[in-house]
Amino acid sequence: MSFPLWPKGGVKNNSIPLHNKLHLESTEIDLRESLKGILDGTDNTPQRGHWVILRRMNRNQRCECWNKVGTGDSIYDEDNRKYDEPLENCPLCDGSGYTYNDELHITRRRLVSPVIGMSNQERETPIGIMNVAYVVYYFKHNVSPHREDKIIEIENNAYGKPVLPPIHTEQYNISVVEPLRDQLGRIEYWRASVKAEVI
């Protein structure tokens, strides 16, 4: 006995749409809306997210300071295209060697402790005792951060809005980016693991 591949009446779809608000029978949780409610707040809950700068690095465009050749009295102050690096204190690229675009985004971060617990954060290494912070940021589905982008913590005021002009407090390099997907492969939110950068 076999089943026909192409039924005469067509394939009947009796399923309930996952995120159709008109369908009162649907019990599926819309993770996008849930995260939006956590970050932005709702009519009944406060805002639990804070504002950061997502610095999107343009790896296709080097800054003009890359391998800059000195002239005049500063001819020996630059690397004369020897070391293949940018200027450390360049006002345009902030020492990264690439151009970038800054965007304001609301996010939520948490410190992820090592397996044994927070008391084991200080690790003894061959060069001494190191304190490594494991930080993870959560972004909305439409942010789409990339590896090697940067997250800059800025001051937020008492009303949950960013202080303008932005006051930088900490800077992190994104090392791992993961889109969290639900049914049908839809991206619900982004998780970015970062490591601190000295600024």
Q: Which band of pLDDT confidence, cut at 50, 70 and 90, is reported for residue 177? A: very high
More confident residue, 67 or 83: 67
Q: Which band of pLDDT confidence, cut at 50, 70 and 90, is reported for residue 6? A: low
More confident residue, 83 or 34: 34
With a CB cutoff of 8 Å and minimum separation 6, the contacts of 199 are: 168, 170, 171
pLDDT of residue 60: 86
Q: State the average pLDDT for the chain.
A: 80
pLDDT of residue 46: 93
31-57+101-197 maps to which CATH number?
2.40.10
* Predicted TM-score (pTM) above 0.85: no
Q: Which band of pLDDT confidence, cut at 50, 70 and 90, is reported for residue 74? A: low
How far is C-alpha 135 from the geometric centre of its chain's CA atoms? 11
pLDDT of residue 10: 55
Is the pLDDT at 148 greater than 60, yes or no? yes
pLDDT of residue 97: 86
CB atoms within 10 A of CB 193: 16
- What are the pLDDT digits (tens) for 37-62? 999 999 999 999 999 999 999 988 88
- What are the pLDDT digits (tens) for 92-129? 888 888 889 999 999 999 987 554 445 555 666 677 76
In the chain, the percentage of residues whose pLDDT exceeds 90 is 44
pLDDT of residue 61: 86
pLDDT of residue 12: 55
More confident residue, 49 or 71: 49
Domain ranges of the chain: 31-57+101-197
With a CB cutoff of 8 Å and minimum separation 6, the contacts of 97 are: 62, 63, 65, 66, 85, 86
